[in-house]
Amino acid sequence: MANWVTFGRFVLLFVLLAIIYSNDPAWQLINAPLTVFIIALDGVDGWVARRFGEESLFGATFDIAIDRIVETVLWVVLAHLGFIGVWIPLLFIIRGNLVDAIRSKGAATGTAAFDMMQSPVGRFLVAGRFMRGFYAVLKAVTFAWILLWQPFDVVAPDFWAANGVWLSAIGLGLAWASAAICVARGLPVIIEFCVNARPGAPRPKT
Q: How large is the average pLDDT for residues 195-201?
A: 63
Contact, 126 vs 114, CB < 8 A? Answer: yes
Task: Say how far apart CA 42 and CA 131 lie, in whole Å.
Answer: 15
For residue 202, is it within any domain?
A: no
Confidence of residue 119 (pLDDT cuts 50, 70, 90): confident
Task: Say how far apart CA 122 and CA 196 lie, in whole Å.
Answer: 13
Task: Say how far apart CA 89 and CA 73 lie, in whole Å.
Answer: 9
How many other CB atoms are there within 10 angstroms of residue 18's CB atom? Answer: 10
Confidence of residue 50 (pLDDT cuts 50, 70, 90): low
- The confidence score (pLDDT) of residue 164 equals 95
**Would you report the helix, strand and coil content of the chain in percent, each value rounded to 5?**
80, 0, 20
Rg (CA), the chain: 19
- The pair phi, psi for residue 156, each rounded to 5°, is -145, 70
Q: How large is the average pLDDT for residues 95-102?
A: 85
Contact, 78 vs 175, CB < 8 A? Answer: yes
Looking at the 3D structure of the chain, how many domains does it have? 1
For residue 157, is it within any domain?
A: yes
Task: Say how far apart CA 90 and CA 75 lie, in whole Å.
Answer: 9
For residue 109, is it within any domain?
A: yes
**pLDDT at residue 126 above 80?**
yes
pTM: 0.81
- The confidence score (pLDDT) of residue 163 equals 97
Q: Give the side-chain half-sphere CA count within 13 A for 39.
A: 24
For residue 26, is it within any domain?
A: yes
CATH code for position 129 = 1.20.120
**pLDDT at residue 23 above 60?**
yes
For residue 113, is it within any domain?
A: yes
How confident is the prediction for the chain on average, in pLDDT? 83
- Lowest model confidence (mean pLDDT) among 34-38, 56-60, 148-152, 202-206: 202-206
For residue 205, is it within any domain?
A: no
- Lowest model confidence (mean pLDDT) among 16-25, 153-162, 190-199: 190-199
Q: Look up the domain containing 155 and give its range.
A: 2-196
- Lowest model confidence (mean pLDDT) among 71-75, 86-90, 131-135, 201-205: 201-205
- The confidence score (pLDDT) of residue 54 equals 59
For residue 206, is it within any domain?
A: no
Name, in order, each residue with C-beta under 8 angstroms of 89's C-beta and a sequence gap of 6 or more.
72, 75, 76, 78, 79
Q: How large is the average pLDDT for residues 71-98?
A: 94
Q: What is residue 198's three-state secondary structure? A: coil
Q: Pick the residue with more confidence: 173 or 110?
A: 173
Task: Say how far apart CA 88 and CA 76 lie, in whole Å.
Answer: 8
For residue 203, is it within any domain?
A: no
> If you count DSSP H runs as helices and E runs as strands, how many of each does the chain have, helices first?
9, 0
